[in-house]
Chain A
C-alpha cells in the first residue's frame, strides 16, 4: 500500500454547493486516495467520476445487474449499493486492477480466449465476481460457476462462454507458473 494518500478533488459532478462532506481514505488498486465526499455519494460514482476509473459500469438501480461489481477487502460487492464513506479505510479493487505488470489476469485472458464477452458492458463486473469465486474455489463445477454469477446479468452471451471462461481460468490458475508469456 502507498505510504501517503493521494488527495483527489471531489468531482464537480458529485458535489452539491453548500452540501456537507466527509473526508475518506480509500485504497483503490493498491493506491491510497483521500477525498472529501458527500455522505450520499455511491462508491461506484466515486470510482467513476472522482478517480476516473470508468471500467466499473452502472447497469441498473436495484442492485440486480452486477455491472458495478468491485472487490471490497477482497469480497465482491455491488458498488452501486455501497456508499463511498462505507469504503473508508478499506481496500477496493476494480477491473483496472486485474492486470498486473502489463499481464492480463487469468480471468481476463480466459474471457478473451473463450469469447466470454460481446458488448463488454457487464464484463468488468462479471470478471470481478469470477475472480472472487476462483480465489475461494479454483475448480468450480458448471453449477457452482452459474450460481456464483447469478447476480451478474449478461444480455449478449447467453452465459455459455462465460462459464467456459471462468472454468478455464480456474484451471490455468492451478497450473505451475510457466514463466513469461501472456497476451
Chain B
C-alpha cells in the first residue's frame, strides 16, 4: 500500500497510543478499591488453618466486642438463607461458608463486618473456631485409590472421582499406534499455578433498601454473566441488579469465577443496609482463589520410520481441588484440551480425562489461556521434541515435515475442530531466519565439544480462541455470542458500548480503531465503554482471547448496519438513488461521478436534521455476533538457553516469537500482548508452582514464595509477525492475548531438554528450577 493510499486517522493497522492511558498514568484510574461510598462498611474473612477438618464450634462473641465490629456471618446464617452453597459453572457446587466441614487450607469460615478496614481485620482475627482435623488428600492419584477419605460427603457418589470425559477414535488410535514403526511415551505434569493479577479481587456491594436496587462494583471479567448468575442464585429481579466492572488490574481468568467474598459482601450489604467493601489481601488471593493447570498427563505419540506422525493417545488426571469450579463452556469439562493434535495432521487421536477431588481450593481457571489450550500445546510440543530425539531428526525438520500445509485449510483435525487458516511453516521459517537457527546449531556443537550446556527449543503452536459458535459454546446455557452497540451523534462523534470487559488489553483503543475503519471517522472521535450492565449490551465478557473474535466482529457488523442506513441518507443528500451510492475510501460516493460524495459525519448530521421520508431519525445499530467458527492463531517460538553446569541455573539468552493473529488492529498493542504473554509462559516454565504438603499446607501462598518474574530474570523478548487472516472474521482478525502464554512453556522446556540431551535426560517437569536440572545432570538418565 502506498503512503498516500486512502486511510482514516486511527484506523486498522496503526500503532495509535492508548486512550485509557490518560487516566492510568496520572493515578486517576478507578479500580474497585478506589470506590468510596457514604456509610460504607468493610468486610474481612476468617480462614481455616486446616485443609480438611470438622468445625465443632464457632464463637463470635469476642469478635463482636471488637470496637467497630457490627456483625459476624457464619455458615449457619447463610444456610438459613439457602446461601451456604452456590452452584459452580460446571454443575457442581461450592461453599460460600462451611456449615460443618472445611475442605482446603485458607477456606473462608466466617465474615466480619465493621465500620473500618482495620476493625474488620481485628474482628476476623478474634473469631474463635474449633476444628477436628480429618485425613487430608492432596494427591489426585491417591484420592482415587480405594479407601481414600471421601472429601465431598455431601454427594451421593461416595468417591473422589468427579467425571470421565473422552473424545476421538479409541480403537482406531490404538490400532494406529500398534502399527506405528516408532512410538514415544511420556508422563508430563503441569503443576498448579496462580494468575496473580497485580490487583487482587474485591467488590463494593450496595443494596438500597428503599428502591430494592442492588449495585456491585466488582473485579469481574464478565459483568453481564455475573448479573444473571446473581439473579438466578439470589432471586433478586435482574432489572434491579447492576454490575459495574470499573478499571480492572489484570484478570487472566482469575476474575471469571464468583468467589465467596463477593457473595459475603452482598449478603452483608443486604443485611446491614449499608454499602460493604471486601478487598482480599495478596495472601488470601494466592491461597484461596481459583488455580490453573494441575494436569497429570500420560501421552503417547506414534510415527513412521521417516518421521510422519500417525496417532496420538493421551490419558490425563485432572486435579480440581474440592469442587469442580472450572471456568469452561458447559459442554467441555476438560476445556478445549482436544486441540492437542496441534499443528500436525494426525490421522487418529484419542484423549481421555478423569477429574478428581482433593483437599485444595478450586482449580480449572485459565491463567491467560483459552480453556486448557496451554496444557494441550505443552503436551504436543514436548512430544514432538521427544519424537525428534528418538528419530534423531532435528526438531525443526520434524515439524516442517509434518505441518498441516497452507492449502489444507480449512482443516478438520482428528478430534473434530475445523482450523480456519494457517501457514505454520511460514512462521517457523521466519523464526529460524531471525534467530539464525543453523548458526545456533553450529555454536551448540562447538559448545558441546567443550562440555558447555546450551539448548535450542522450538514450539510451533496452534491455538483455538474466540468462543464461540452458539451451537457448541454456552456458559450455564447462555450462548457465547458478544455484542456491540454503536451510536453516531449529530456532530459525527460516536459512543460505542460492548459486552466484553478489558482488564488491560486496551479495548477502548482497539475497538475504536475497528469502528474508525468501518465508519470512516477518526478513532479520536469514538468513545468506547464497557463494564456497566445498565448501559452496555449483553455479552459474555473478556477471557479466552474472545474479545476481538466476538465483540470486535460485532463492532464491524454494527458499523456495517449503520452504513446500510447511512447510504440511504447519503443518497437523499446527493439526490440520487441509493443504488447509485457506494461506500468507498471512507465515504459515500456516487458511482462513476468522481467528487460527488458525502462523509459519514455529514450523513450523521442529516440523520438528525434532514432524514429522508420513510426512514427513521437517528444513526445507530446493535449487533450480537455469533461467530461461525473459532479462530486459530498460531506461531513459532525459538528459545536459546544456557545452563550453568555447577548450579543447574537456566538462563534464557534469546527468545524469538513469531506470531500470526490474522489481521493486526494495533501493532503496538499486539506486541505488548505478546510481551506479557511470553512472560506468563516463562513464569511456569522456570519459576512458578503452587505446592502442598501432605497435610494440605500450601507452599507458595505469598509473593515471598510464589515467584512471579521480575524485570531481572525476564528475557528481552524479540517479536515478529506473519499475517494469515481468518477467513470468517469480518476483518480477518484472530485473538492474540494468550498465544504467547500458550506457546512459550514448551519452547523453554524443549530448549532445556535439548541442552541436557548429551546427559541422557528425556524430560523434567516444569518449573525447571535449578535443583531439578542439577539433579538430572548428576543423576543421568530419566529424572524428576
Residues of chain A touching chain B, judged by Cβ–Cβ distance below 8 Å, are 12-19, 38, 40-41, 45, 48-49, 52-62, 64-65, 67, 94-96, 98-99, 104, 108, 111-113, 115, 117-124, 127, 142, 145-147, 149-163
CB-CB under 8 A from A155, the residues of chain B are 195-198, 250, 252, 676, 679-680, 708
A121 touches B25 (CB 8 A): no
State the CA gap A124–B675 with chains docked (Å): 20
CB-CB under 8 A from B247, the residues of chain A are 119-120
Residue in A13, A142, A154, A162 whose beta carbon sits within 8 Å of that of B198 in the complex = A154
B711 touches A150 (CB 8 A): yes
A sample of 29 cross-chain residue pairs with beta-carbon separation below 8 angstroms, ordered by A number, consists of A12-B115, A16-B118, A16-B122, A18-B67, A19-B67, A48-B34, A57-B31, A58-B33, A60-B703, A65-B703, A112-B18, A112-B25, A115-B17, A115-B669, A115-B671, A119-B199, A120-B25, A121-B199, A121-B249, A123-B24, A146-B714, A153-B198, A155-B252, A155-B708, A156-B250, A158-B676, A158-B677, A160-B675, A160-B717
- Name which residue of chain B comes closest to A107, CB basis: B25
In the complex, how many angstroms separate the beta carbon of A113 from the nearest chain B beta carbon? 7
Which listed segment binds A: B207-215, B503-511, B762-770?
Answer: B503-511
B711 touches A119 (CB 8 A): no
Is B283 interfacial (CB-CB < 8 Å)?
yes
CB-CB under 8 A from A56, the residues of chain B are 27
B68 touches A16 (CB 8 A): yes
State the CA gap A122–B23 with chains docked (Å): 14
Is B119 interfacial (CB-CB < 8 Å)?
yes
Is B26 interfacial (CB-CB < 8 Å)?
yes
In this complex, how many residues of chain B approach chain A with their Cβ under 8 Å: the count is 66
B249 touches A17 (CB 8 A): no
A120 touches B24 (CB 8 A): yes
- Name which residue of chain A comes closest to B702, CB basis: A62
B283 touches A61 (CB 8 A): yes
**Given A142-B716, A146-B711, A155-B676, A119-B116 contact (CB < 8 Å):** no
**Given A115-B669, A118-B676, A157-B672, A145-B24 contact (CB < 8 Å):** no
CB-CB under 8 A from A52, the residues of chain B are 36
Residue in A49, A61, A99, A149 whose beta carbon sits within 8 Å of that of B282 in the complex = A61
Instruction: List 16 additional A-B contacts (Cβ < 8 Å) besides A120-B29, A159-B711.
Output: A49-B36, A53-B27, A54-B33, A55-B27, A58-B279, A59-B200, A60-B281, A112-B17, A115-B17, A115-B669, A119-B249, A121-B31, A121-B197, A155-B196, A158-B677, A158-B678
CB-CB under 8 A from A12, the residues of chain B are 115-116
Question: Interface SS of chain A: helix, strand, loop or mixed?
Answer: loop
CB-CB under 8 A from A153, the residues of chain B are 198, 703, 708, 710
Is B20 interfacial (CB-CB < 8 Å)?
yes
State the CA gap A95–B24 with chains docked (Å): 10
In the complex, how many angstroms separate the beta carbon of A160 from the nearest chain B beta carbon? 5
CB-CB under 8 A from B33, the residues of chain A are 48, 54, 57-58
CB-CB under 8 A from A159, the residues of chain B are 675, 679, 711, 714
A117 touches B25 (CB 8 A): yes
CB-CB under 8 A from B25, the residues of chain A are 104, 108, 111-112, 117, 120, 123, 127
**Given A115-B668, A118-B676, A156-B250, A16-B27 contact (CB < 8 Å):** no
CB-CB under 8 A from A150, the residues of chain B are 710-712
In the complex, how many angstroms separate the beta carbon of A51 from the nearest chain B beta carbon? 12
Enumerate B348-377 residues with CB–CB distance to A below 8 Å.
none
- Name which residue of chain A comes closest to B502, CB basis: A119
Is B117 interfacial (CB-CB < 8 Å)?
yes
State the CA gap A14–B282 with chains docked (Å): 20
Residue in B28, B504, B678, B714 whose beta carbon sits within 8 Å of that of A55 in the complex = B28
Is B475 interfacial (CB-CB < 8 Å)?
no
A55 touches B198 (CB 8 A): no
CB-CB under 8 A from B438, the residues of chain A are none
A61 touches B115 (CB 8 A): no
In the complex, how many angstroms separate the beta carbon of B47 from the nearest chain A beta carbon? 14
A158 touches B26 (CB 8 A): no
CB-CB under 8 A from A13, the residues of chain B are 40, 42, 115-117
- Name which residue of chain A comes closest to B120, CB basis: A13
B26 touches A95 (CB 8 A): yes
State the CA gap A153–B115 with chains docked (Å): 32
Enumerate B662-714 residues with CB–CB distance to A below 8 Å.
668-669, 671-672, 674-680, 702-704, 708, 710-712, 714
In the complex, how many angstroms separate the beta carbon of B547 from the nearest chain A beta carbon? 14
In the complex, how many angstroms separate the beta carbon of A39 from the nearest chain B beta carbon? 11
State the CA gap A62–B284 with chains docked (Å): 12
Is B248 interfacial (CB-CB < 8 Å)?
yes
State the CA gap A40–B717 with chains docked (Å): 43
CB-CB under 8 A from B23, the residues of chain A are 120
In the complex, how many angstroms separate the beta carbon of B227 from the nearest chain A beta carbon? 23
- Name which residue of chain B comes closest to A97, CB basis: B27
B21 touches A112 (CB 8 A): yes
State the CA gap A48–B710 with chains docked (Å): 26
0/1 interface trace, chain B 100-132, chain A, CB 8 Å (1 if under): 000000000000000111110010000000000
0/1 interface trace, chain B 5-36, chain A, CB 8 Å (1 if under): 00000000000011011111111110101101
CB-CB under 8 A from A120, the residues of chain B are 20-21, 23-25, 29, 247, 249, 504
CB-CB under 8 A from B42, the residues of chain A are 13
In the complex, how many angstroms separate the beta carbon of A65 from the nearest chain B beta carbon? 6
State the CA gap A65–B197 with chains docked (Å): 11
CB-CB under 8 A from B199, the residues of chain A are 57, 59, 119, 121
In the complex, how many angstroms separate the beta carbon of B488 from the nearest chain A beta carbon? 27
CB-CB under 8 A from A96, the residues of chain B are 26-27
Which among B115, B119, B281, B672 has the greatest number of chain A C-beta atoms within 10 A?
Answer: B672
CB-CB under 8 A from A112, the residues of chain B are 17-18, 21-22, 25
Residue in A121, A124, A152, A161 whose beta carbon sits within 8 Å of that of B250 in the complex = A121
In the complex, how many angstroms separate the beta carbon of B742 from the nearest chain A beta carbon? 15
CB-CB under 8 A from B671, the residues of chain A are 115
A119 touches B248 (CB 8 A): yes
**Given A38-B118, A115-B18, A120-B29, A156-B200 contact (CB < 8 Å):** no
Residue in A55, A113, A118, A156 whose beta carbon sits within 8 Å of that of B26 in the complex = A55
In the complex, how many angstroms separate the beta carbon of B247 from the nearest chain A beta carbon? 7
State the CA gap A104–B17 with chains docked (Å): 15
- Name which residue of chain B comes closest to A166, CB basis: B711
State the CA gap A84–B507 with chains docked (Å): 38
Residue in B27, B669, B677, B702 whose beta carbon sits within 8 Å of that of A124 in the complex = B27
CB-CB under 8 A from A151, the residues of chain B are 710
- Name which residue of chain A comes closest to B196, CB basis: A155
10 closest A-B pairs (Cβ-Cβ)? A55-B27, A119-B504, A121-B249, A120-B24, A158-B675, A95-B27, A64-B703, A118-B504, A158-B679, A60-B282
B198 touches A158 (CB 8 A): no
CB-CB under 8 A from A104, the residues of chain B are 25-26
B675 touches A54 (CB 8 A): no
In the complex, how many angstroms separate the beta carbon of B548 from the nearest chain A beta carbon? 15
In the complex, how many angstroms separate the beta carbon of B708 from the nearest chain A beta carbon? 5
In the complex, how many angstroms separate the beta carbon of A60 from the nearest chain B beta carbon? 4
